[in-house]
Amino acid sequence: MNAHVRRTFYLFVAGFVALIGMLAYWQVYARESLANNPENGLQTRRAIESPRGLILARDGETVLARSVERPSESGNNPTYERVYPQGPLYAGVVGYWSTRYGATGIEIAENSNLSGNADPATLDELINQISGGPRPGNNVTLTIDPQLQRLAYELLAASNTGRGSVVAVDPKTGEILALVSHPSYDPNNIDDRFRELQQDPSQPLLNRATQGLYPPGSVFKVVTAAAALKSGVSPTAVFFDDGTYEQPGYTVTNYGGASYGRVTFAQALALSINTVFAQIAVEEVGRQLLYATARDFGFGSSYEEFPLEISASRLGEGNLAQIAFGQDTVLSNVFQMALVAATVANDGTMMEPHLVKEVRSPDGIIIERASPQREREVLDPQTAATLKEMMVGVVESGSATAAQIAGVEVAGKTGTAEVPPNAPHSWFIAFAPADDPRIAVAVLVENGGDGEKQALPIARQLIASYLDLPSRTAPQQNPAAPNLPEGLPQQLPGELQNLPQRLFGENGRP
């Protein structure tokens, strides 16, 4: 009998412990995910019966999302509907809130604040919670600059393919100033058009800036250059390019089949010479250091603390010579490459990227306010300064002279990423002013062709607009290229045709 009682007692205790464990799990560990799940019936009812908080641009005035009261047909309490005044312009950032299809973007990332599910931060909120009254959500202000965001959207829409993305960031703070994906969608009618949008071949639901993965092409040479500088390669180190670099089973060539003869490492970056970068990666840097440097820049990271879903960039296990110039198995996105540019701009220190500027209660009390956070040191300041100067050289006398803006020194790098049989992707990364950077930008135009022809003009206009400067038009092409030094082709390919006088001077000497 005693044994039977003991067994019953032990079963009772085990069941009680299991019950406590389940309660602890749902109340502590799974509380936030459960509250943020749009399929939660209680959450759905609360979203309809209580107004969600505003989502605002960084000026605190431009409304990106708000709740509108709708009278109840049955005469009961009113319901609320989510409205997006800016339509497709911010869809990639704000996302949508749907009782049918869930939620994305800031709507789900900041749902605890927007829905009023967060712990009460003011006396009124505490009283409402105790009394069971309606709890309006907190207002979330983003770091997005509304003028820059609109300009980026319009420029992408006007590009030759109309497909691509832009990310702009403040290098010193990590604030995201613009994040645009095009084509986009209108979140106001997501319930009516969701299935149609899912099947649209242009993939408007895909956030190209954060979730798209593309070969970065020559903009990745900034990462390779950083690794080379760390390995001891000097900007003045001399290499000879005959137009090819042989690897077992593969021959690296330059864009357009060009050869450049005797060039320095700095000139190889300025002229975007694939063969020299392949040689440097294989013979000077090595796979281990290149991969470690890429990881330091953020490759392999999904940035879990960032409110939007980020697809991790990766190098893969391909041919090192091709990886050196962003081809073969390398895949990245515009968000990642913007952080690469921002890190070089900020003396080698990566700041934690963030999208939320502050959170306020409905009566205006500040609940949260973001402050700049240092992510990690990727490069020491001296190495970063050298790389910065090399990127300035790309704009001053290299493949990106069209990015020059009167009155400000710009640092940048073009990229033309080959994706046969389709047209190449057009890339450009940049920051300015080079000596005191305020903005770093990455631009991708899918299948846009040469980097200088589509992505670069967009970046130049964004930088000029943000710095409140007139945007300089691209220099006139001069394909004649008289008096070029021996080893350089008389007809430079694509993005390099306007270089000779700037790079070598009128007398043909560097």
Task: State the catalytic residues.
Answer: 218
* DSSP H stretches of helix in 272-377: 274-280, 287-297, 320-323, 334-345
- Closest Cα to residue 379, out of 351, 429, 343? 343
**Distance between CA atoms of residues 294 and 216, nearest Å:** 13
| ∠ CA 96-102-105, rounded to 5° | 40
* DSSP H stretches of helix in 99-257: 105-109, 111-114, 123-131, 146-157, 190-199, 221-231
| 228 in Cβ contact with 386 (< 8 Å) | no
- Closest Cα to residue 429, out of 452, 448, 406? 452
* DSSP H stretches of helix in 61-138: 91-94, 105-109, 111-114, 123-131
- 79: three-class secondary structure by DSSP: strand
**Distance between CA atoms of residues 207 and 95, nearest Å:** 10
For residue 45, the Cα-to-chain-centroid distance in whole angstroms is 35
Helix, strand, coil content of the chain in percent (nearest 5): 40, 20, 40
| 292 in Cβ contact with 223 (< 8 Å) | no
**Distance between CA atoms of residues 137 and 459, nearest Å:** 37
Locus of tokens 């070029």: 484
**Distance between CA atoms of residues 357 and 56, nearest Å:** 10
Q: Name the DSSP class of 284.
A: I
Locus of tokens 């390919």: 493
- Closest Cα to residue 207, out of 106, 350, 298? 106
Length of the chain: 510
Q: To the nearest 10°, the Cα dihedral for 82, 83, 89, 91? A: 10
- Closest Cα to residue 455, out of 329, 308, 338, 290? 338
Q: Which residues of 193-210 are buried (b: 16+ CB within 10 A; e: fewer)?
A: ebeebeeeeebbbbbbbb
Which H/E stretch holds residue 32?
A: helix 31-35
**Distance between CA atoms of residues 368 and 335, nearest Å:** 25
| 397 in Cβ contact with 357 (< 8 Å) | no
